[in-house]
Amino acid sequence: MLGLLLPLWAASARADEELRRAPADPPRWRLRASLTQGIGGARDGDELVTVFPTTLEFNLRLWGPLAVTVAAQGVTVGSQYLACGEQHRSNAAIGTGGVRVDFANGKAASWAAPFLELHGGLGGQSGGHEIDGICRTPAVFATVGAKLGLDVWLGGKVAVTVAVAYDYLPTAAPISAALGAAFVLY
């Protein structure tokens, strides 16, 4: 009798231990890419302008909800002006690196996954308005920015991304709404 009860008791203890040690939820993605297009507004000198930021971004998950991000962004401006005898637009290109927090990066998580991203980097921008006869020349500048958004996962490998973003530019710094797609690479 003891020979029958001892294996049953051992199996029961092993099953209790397995229940206590619940399996971890694997991440939805470890490496992903996203492409977003935005529209927003900014001030260029004393006028309001429409800006169109386009961003290609890669995210690498570090641990838990944290990921590192690298991105390239082009910002086109919808209006042009005469400065120093030439037509100008405050178009810009920036490259950034930063951190991202995904609040629901698990396969068992909701299909709606909010995120927050902070980044900084370098950029270049065409000349700005002529001020008192002085023309600004294009220069490299430091930039910082933030993005708050939501990934809506459509199955396992693709998401629609909706975000609100800000990026510092010397002229026409945009606050924009962006829409795009994210793809799981690994």
Write out the DSSP string of 24-86: P---S-SEEEEEEEEEEEEEETTEEEEEEEEEEEEEEEEETTEEEEEEEEEEEES--EEETTE
Span 66-75, pLDDT tens digits: 999 999 999 9
Q: What span, in angstroms and rounded, lies between the C-alpha atoms of 45 and 144?
A: 20
For residue 4, pLDDT over 60 is answered with no
Give, as one character, the DSSP assignment of residue 157.
Answer: S
149-76-114 Cα angle (round to 5):
5
In order of their start, the domains of the chain are: 29-184 (2.40.160.20)
| pLDDT surpasses 60 at 57 | yes
pLDDT of 131: 64
At 140, the pLDDT band (50, 70, 90 cuts) reads confident
Tens of pLDDT, residue by residue over 84-138, are 777 777 889 999 999 999 998 888 888 999 999 999 999 998 766 566 667 666 6
Q: What is the pLDDT of residues 28-51, one digit of tens each?
A: 999 999 999 999 988 776 778 899
pTM over 0.85, yes/no: no
Q: What are phi and psi of 102, to 5 degrees?
A: -100, 115
Q: What is the mean pLDDT of the chain?
A: 85
Q: Give the model's pLDDT for residue 77.
A: 87
* Per-residue pLDDT at 87: 75
Helix then strand then coil, % of the chain, to nearest 5: 10, 60, 30
Predicted confidence at residue 17, as pLDDT, reads 57
pLDDT confidence band for 22 (50 / 70 / 90): low
Mean per-residue pLDDT, 132-148: 82
Does the pLDDT value for residue 8 go beyond 50? no
> What's the pLDDT band for 173 if we cut at 50, 70, 90?
confident
Q: What is the per-residue pLDDT for 152? A: 95
